[in-house]
Amino acid sequence: MSDLSLLNVAVVIVTLAALFGYINHRWLGLPHAIGIVVIALLTSLGAIALDAIWPALALQESVRAVLANLDFHDVLMNGMLSFLLFAGALHVNLGDLLSRKWAIGSMATIGVLMSTFLIGFAVYGISSLLDIGIPLTYCLVFGALISPTDPVAVLGILKTVKVPESLEAKIAGESLFNDGVGLVVFIIMVAIATGGGGGHGEAIGVLEVIRLFAQEALGGAALGLTTGYIAYRAMKSIDEHNLEVLITLALVMLTYGIASALHLSGPIAVVIAGLLIGNKGTRLAMSETTRDHVHKFWSLLDEIMNSALFLLIGFEVFALSISGNVVALMIIIIPVALAARFISVGTPLMLLSLRKDFTKGAIPVLTWGGLRGGISVALALSLPESDFKSTILAATYAVVIFSIVVQGLTVKAVVRKLVR
């Protein structure tokens, strides 16, 4: 895509995000991100209906061409995600996370792995019954990409829902870390699924899986600590708020760039760096003026990118190719994903509850509040071309839209009813 067309697409995205945000704020009154998704989705369905009535308009074809050139996966995973994760981590209390490290750690690792296999095997059985016939390896790929909760969606909802501090720390902490773990699991599953060249996959060794996981996850954490500490020392040695804001911006871009070059987990790296700057940095390296400017800058950037991201999610319906029994799979997979989420969250928490009490209603709230979002869609779009990609994308989109719209709109009621 040329620089001019890229600029034009950016103009359209920001303008529509502002317009839809205004319509929602003025007349619908939904949470900002959910309102933008709903309006974008309705606009997309309206365009598809117009295409069906007047095929000569070719609206679907035009929008699909723009989305294909835009490359949603590249825009999110290599563009927006690092800034969104850093902005989210910047406002999370590290002390709260550390005091609940076992719950957060187990949900972000064991929980993601459990959910991956539960969903993978369930989809394999369902697709066989529906005569869709997705290979088990690709079913596990789907399980890996749909299991992590989306920190962007989850943290956005937390701004609108009042939950106990202990539960909020678990929800925020898990959402920040489980996507990094989920990405590593996704990479491993894709390697297995595509290893044979024909889509049937070749087994990779257990040692290779452990090495890849350690390199991505632990290497990413070490990188985030290193770059975050360098930025912290630089900010501590000066008192110039504009320059310190620039340092945080450079920190995010450089950390994610190095992680990509070294095949480390960029999401984990920027989350660790964000936690360091947002806690130790704001307390010990920033004046009150700098702290105010840093928080306002990242809050504004977070809001702009959130709006653009959820707008794109609403328009990605144009990328779907749905036929036959795929619709049935899309409907069935929603309760399957919720059931897997309930089991994968409940199991580690129930085991930990043998030693420590948790907030009443924690498991159902974590289940219903574990929203899926743009990361899952981006990963589905990033899959190599195969006979199963369109089906996986359709199933992913069904879970994501239900998650953002239905769960997002009702999570406040769930919290009020279950949490005491």
CB neighbour burial string for 299-319, b if at least 16 within 10 angstroms, e if fewer: eebbbebbbbbbbbbbbbbbb
Residue written as token pair 């987990």: 265
Residue by residue, pLDDT tens for the chain (420 residues) are 444 467 788 888 999 999 999 999 999 999 898 999 999 999 999 988 888 888 877 777 777 777 767 778 888 888 899 999 999 999 888 888 888 888 999 999 999 999 999 999 999 999 999 999 899 999 999 999 999 998 878 887 777 777 788 788 888 889 889 888 888 899 889 988 887 444 444 456 677 778 888 888 899 999 999 999 999 999 999 999 999 999 999 999 999 999 999 989 999 999 999 999 999 999 999 999 999 999 999 999 999 998 999 999 998 888 787 877 999 999 999 999 999 999 999 999 998 876 777 777 889 999 999 999 899 999 998 998 888 999 999 999 999 999 999 999 998 889 888 886
CATH of the domain spanning 73-418, picked from 2.40.160.10, 1.20.1530.20, 3.40.470.10, 2.30.110.10: 1.20.1530.20
Q: What is the pLDDT of residues 385-409, one digit of tens each?
A: 888 999 999 999 999 999 999 999 9
- pTM, to two decimals: 0.90
What is the per-residue pLDDT for 356?
A: 73
User: Under a CB-based contact definition with an 8 Å cutoff, are residues 173 and 92 in contact?
Assistant: yes
Closest to 303 (Cα-Cα) out of 40, 36, 26: 36
Q: How far is CA 263 from CA 138, 158, 215, 332, in A?
A: 23, 31, 8, 36
Nearest to 278 by CA among 82, 92, 154, 80: 92
Amino acid at 101: K
Q: CA-CA-CA-CA torsion for 398, 404, 409, 412, nearest 10 degrees?
A: 120
Q: Which of 125, 122, 128, 126 is nearest to 143 (CA)?
A: 122
Phi/psi class of residue 356: alpha, beta or left (left: φ > 0; alpha: ψ in -120 to 50)? beta
* pLDDT of amino acid 254: 97
The string of pLDDT tens digits covering residues 46-97 is 988 888 888 877 777 777 777 767 778 888 888 899 999 999 999 888 888 8
Domain definitions of the chain by residue range: 3-68, 73-418
Question: Can you tell me the distance from the alpha carbon of 251 to that of 245, in angstroms, rounded to the nearest whole number?
Answer: 10
Could you give the CA distance from residue 199 to residue 386 in angstroms, rounded to a whole number?
7
Question: What is d(CA 236, CA 346) in angstroms, rounded to the nearest whole number?
Answer: 42
